[in-house]
Amino acid sequence: MNPRRTRVVIVGAGPAGLLLGQLLHEAGIDNVIVERQSAQYVLGRIRAGVLEQTTVALLEQAGVATRLHAEGHVHDGIGLAFDERLHRIDLRALTGHGVTVYGQTEVTRDLMSARAAAGCVTLYEAAHVSLHDFDGDHPFVRYTHEGSEHELHGDFIAGCDGFHGVSRASVPAHAIRCFERVFPLGWLGVLAHVPPCNPELVYASHERGFALCSQRTPQLSRYYIQVPAGAQLGQWPDTAFWDELRRRLPADVADAVTTGPAVEKSITPLRGFVAEPMRFGRLLLAGDAAHIVPPTGAKGLNLAASDVSYLAAGLCEYFGEHSSAALNAYSSRCLQRVWGALRFSCWLSGLLHRFPEATPFDRRVQSAELDHLVRSRAASTVLAQSYVGLPLEI
């Protein structure tokens, strides 16, 4: 076995790992990505597509925003639907910012293309990945690729391999503390080649449960409905999904829904999860490897991007200025933002969903909160500020 060396070993070729790799490449820092799945599998994962301005700026910094600006759609507001009415929250008027709708799959595709064009190394279908000696000065990753066992040594390991990845699992139990809440419901999502029912996203609260109308392109829409925990896809043929979606929307919005066969259909559980700290010697976790937020509010990809921003800045400072100050502050800076996003996502989830334990009193309070939210400019501003995302402080 001939060990190979790089500056930073990145485990995971999802958006977090690819974005980190591109930012490091732009800064002249050598890195190699190790990914256990194939490139086709990574591209096949359907995720959210609402980007905060800070995320867009990071993609610009990484040199991968050309197609985003050509094909992405800037939304200056969102809709809140309840009591059979649609209310618009004007994000631009309240905060000076909007959000950009551009699918995570497309972000991943752009990052993959840029990495390939730059000649950077990504090792797909790497099996038996294991992390070693990250509590010392010479960490390395061992893996099997194309039938042979390899070792990849670096100064740091970036764990960007998601909730079920090997990075967080490699940390000794006594060194990490995990916080988790699992909600008793999930989101059934359908992707279909149909035009969106509304120019902007619609978040709907209904006595039958939550619904979300979102989009990827003018001819590709993503819809969700709340389902109980344990629901199975077989219980939801396309016709049943579309009928239930329309029941949960105001009549004028429901009438604008165009139905069609599902291109993709999946159920996403709602959970909140945070692992603390996010640094263990020379192993640094980023994105879903360290935290999961409920999808309400579309914070998952944006949080991963902010982690990567802090991590890239810290690594650039370390290699460029021989200072560890930013890396030493990495975990605390990330976690402050993570818990803020989790607070927002849990609050919005509680406001919009129907929970099995809720009493009639609880539902009346929920209705009063929604009414206050759209009547009070101050309350709308608080929602809008969290939705568009707070600025990054590097």
Active-site residue numbers?
75, 203, 295, 299, 387
Instruction: Tell me the three state secondary structure of residue 300.
Output: helix
On whether the CB atoms of residues 162 and 14 are closer than 8 A, the answer is: yes
Query: Given CA atoms 13, 15, 19, 20 in this order, what sign does their dihedral have?
Result: negative
Instruction: Tell me the three state secondary structure of residue 189.
Output: strand
* Plot region of 322 (φ>0 → left; ψ -120 to 50 → alpha; else → beta): left
267-281 burial code (b ≥16 CB/10 A, e <16): bbebebbbbbbbbbe
Q: How far is CA 367 from CA 79, 251, 373, in A?
A: 16, 19, 10
Instruction: Tell me the three state secondary structure of residue 78.
Output: strand
Distance CA 7, CA 315 (A): 10
- In the chain, count of helices (H) and strands (E)? 14, 21
* Phi, psi (deg, nearest 5) at residue 29: -105, 115
Query: Given CA atoms 364, 365, 366, 367 in this order, what sign does their dihedral have?
Result: positive
- Sheet containing strand 127-132, edge to edge, reads 4-5, 148-153, 140-145, 127-132
Instruction: Tell me the three state secondary structure of residue 211.
Output: strand
Query: Given CA atoms 179, 183, 188, 189 in this order, what sign does their dihedral have?
Result: negative
Kindly state the tokens that stand for 325.
């100050």
Distance CA 304, CA 285 (A): 10
Element (H, E) at 191: strand 177-192
